[in-house]
């Protein structure tokens, strides 16, 4: 679909106070307002109102929620409102995180420990990919998104443009995969791994499924 175009899917149209709220929010943004507040009771259609604002403004959007539960709820709603657009889910990829701690009373030092959720990491990578490649993006995120991911130009420089018809020397492609920290394996492969069988390279991408390059 054309990048930057947000297609809103709904059986309803704005009603009651919603049309005025949508118009005032859009006017505020167009006039440079940095802060606006939309108030309403539970079930008054605030999410639908914001979906209409996104649809009309046609700008990449980030929606911040205070916790993962509300983030997941808003993500599900936005996916239903915008099935043709890139609606992404971005939260911390830690299932568990224990920071370094020093306990003076017992003179003990507890080292940092963590466990990363592969599925959440894949969703974060999908978010980064969408933001770089297109403009019709809605990111529904928890507060973890306030932490920087690095320079977008560095991310772009590491991309390998694999597509039907693309031509690479096998050694060059293997070298570039290694630079991206993809691991070579001649047996079963999983995410971020590849194997070489004659002229064929099987690549298990970080975000998507296995692709084959010959």
pLDDT tens figures, 173-186: 999 898 888 989 88
Claim to verify: residue 166 and residue 184 sit in the same structural domain: yes
Count other Cβ atoms within 10 Å, centred on residue 142. Answer: 19
Best CA proximity match to 117, nearest among 101, 100, 97: 97
pLDDT band, very low/low/confident/very high, at 143 (cuts 50, 70, 90): confident
More confident residue, 86 or 149: 86
C-alpha–C-alpha distance, residues 86 and 65, integer Å: 18
Co-location of 195 and 104 in the same domain: no
> Which segment, 12-16, 89-93, 125-129, is predicted with the most confidence on average?
12-16
Q: Do 119 and 38 fall within a single domain?
A: yes
Same domain, 102 and 87: yes
Asked whether residue 149 carries a pLDDT value surpassing 80, the answer given is: no
Model pLDDT, residue 2:
45
- How many H helices and E strands in the chain? 6, 11
Q: What is the model's pLDDT at position 80?
A: 97
Per the CB < 8 A criterion, the answer to whether 210 and 204 are in contact is yes
* Neighbour-count burial for 165-194, b at 16+ CB within 10 Å, e otherwise: eeeeeeeebbeebeeeebeeeeeebebebb
Question: Is the same domain home to 113 and 138?
Answer: yes
Name the 3-class secondary structure at 80: helix
Residue 114: inside a domain, yes or no? yes
pLDDT of residue 210: 53
DSSP 111: P
Q: Say yes or no to pLDDT of 1 above 60.
A: no
The enclosing domain of 198 has a CATH number of: 3.30.2060.10
Task: Please state, in angstroms and rounded to a whole number, the distance separating the CA atoms of residues 6 and 138.
Answer: 9
On whether the pTM is more than 0.85, the answer is no
DSSP string, 116-176: E-HHHHHHHHHHHHHHHH-S-EEEEE-GGGGS----HHHHHHH-----TT----HHHHHHH
For residues 39 and 113, membership in a common domain is answered with: yes
Q: How confident is the model at residue 213 (pLDDT cuts 50, 70, 90)?
A: low
Q: In what order do the strands lie in the sheet with 137-141?
A: 61-64, 137-141, 86-90
Domain end (from 102, 134, 153): 153
Residues 39 and 122 in one domain: yes
Mean pLDDT, residues 3-27 taken together? 93
User: What 3-state DSSP class applies to 23?
Assistant: helix
Which one is predicted more confidently, 95 or 102?
A: 102
Domain with 171 in it:
160-213
| 3-class DSSP assignment, residue 212 | strand
Q: Say which residue, 93 or 3, is predicted with more confidence.
A: 93
Pick the closest to residue 138 from 54, 21, 56 (CA basis): 54
By three-state DSSP, how is residue 101 classified?
Answer: strand
């Amino acid at each position: 679909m054309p990048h930057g175009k947000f297609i809103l899917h709904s059986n309803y149209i704005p009603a009651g106070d919603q049309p005025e709220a949508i118009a005032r929010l859009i006017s505020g943004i167009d006039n440079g307002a940095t802060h606006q507040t939309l108030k309403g009771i539970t079930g008054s259609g605030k999410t639908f109102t914001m979906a209409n604002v996104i649809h009309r403004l046609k700008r990449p959007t980030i929606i911040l929620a205070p916790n993962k539960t509300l983030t997941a709820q808003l993500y599900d709603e936005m996916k239903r409102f915008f099935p043709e657009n890139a609606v992404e889910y971005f939260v911390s990829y830690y299932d568990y995180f224990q920071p370094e701690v020093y306990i003076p009373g017992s003179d003990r030092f507890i080292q940092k420990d963590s466990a990363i959720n592969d599925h959440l990491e894949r969703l974060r990578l999908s978010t980064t990919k969408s933001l770089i490649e297109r403009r019709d993006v809605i990111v529904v995120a928890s507060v973890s998104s306030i932490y920087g991911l690095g320079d977008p130009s560095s991310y772009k420089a590491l991309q390998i443009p694999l597509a039907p018809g693309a031509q690479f020397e096998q050694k060059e492609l293997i070298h570039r995969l290694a630079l991206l920290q993809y691991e070579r394996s001649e047996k079963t492969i999983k995410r971020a791994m590849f194997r070489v069988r004659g002229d064929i390279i099987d690549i298990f991408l970080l975000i998507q499924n296995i692709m084959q390059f010959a």
